[in-house]
Amino acid sequence: MESLLDIKDAARFLNVSEMTIRRWTNSGKLKCYRVGGKRERRFYMNNLEELLHDAQNHRLKPLGFRGQKAPEGSHMTHFYSGNNEALGVSVPYLLEGAKRGEDLLVVMPPEKSRKLLENLDGQRPSVAAWLKSGRLTVTAGMDSSEEMIRYLGEFATRTPKFRLLGDMIWTTLKGWDFAALSALERASSFMLPIEKGLLLCQYSLEDFSGEYIMMASELHQHTIYKERLEKSPYYEHIE
């Protein structure tokens, strides 16, 4: 007889947090069985495999570069060296979102956002039209992690589908420390309704220390390096 798996096993198999598993079972997206006096969740492997198959085949979203795709709701990090490498991912990533009718949110320092908008200029529809319509929002970020978490939650809640891009150097310019940035990345992994969107956080290998890069590897489901998307082997399942 096939054995039942607990919620920790299910989260590990599906590469999501235990909170996500709870949310999926509450909504009926993932079938579970309740056992014992505490009515704890248990799962059959075939139900997990069915959900994974559906996600891989029906919820993959193009990222816009080199044919790379990621499941809806992915929280990704891009490690880059130099502005050209950053733009090589961020520009097609946003253009793909615009083509798909998604709302776009860009979080980065003003100098970087100006350079990004220059590279987007001349596209159809124009950047000016995107900004005027509200489909493209550009911000330099909030002063605290609490404010930023609230801002992102409100953005993700009010739009049917979205694509977020953040060059995380903005946090250092705001005076954030390691703990504040870690708190934001952890919240982005499980507090936001991100199943309908994509979150891409960029980290400069020239500006961030190894401690920050390791943190990003642990708190993002996928990493992008040299325009190749990979599942992060260091990803932590966050409750």
Amino acid 145: pLDDT: 95
Q: What is the CATH number of the domain that holds 217?
A: 3.40.50.300
Q: Which residue reads 């998604």 in tokens?
A: 102
Predicted pLDDT of residue 55: 60
Query: What would the mean pLDDT of 30-41 be, rounded to a whole number?
Result: 90
Q: Which letter, b or e, does each residue of 16-39 get, where b requires 16 or more Cβ atoms within 10 Å of its Cβ? A: bbbbbbbbbbeeeebebeeeeeee
What average pLDDT does range 130-152 have in this prediction? Answer: 94
Q: Given this model, what pLDDT does residue 239 score?
A: 44
How many DSSP H helices and E strands does the chain contain?
A: 10, 11
Domain end: 32, 58, 84, which one?
A: 58
When pLDDT is cut at 50, 70 and 90, the band that residue 189 belongs to is low
> How many domains does the chain divide into?
2
Q: Is 19 inside a domain boundary?
A: yes
Together in a domain, 198 and 105? yes
Q: What is the mean pLDDT of the chain?
A: 90
Apex 28 CA angle, 22 and 29, nearest 5: 80
Q: Does 106 share its domain with 159? A: yes
Residue 153 pLDDT level (bands cut at 50, 70, 90): confident
Per the DSSP assignment, residues forming a β-bridge with 78 are 202, 224
Residue 11 lies in a domain: yes
Q: Identify the CA nearest to 115 among candidates 139, 91, 131, 80.
A: 91
User: Which residue range(s) make up the domain with 19?
Assistant: 7-58
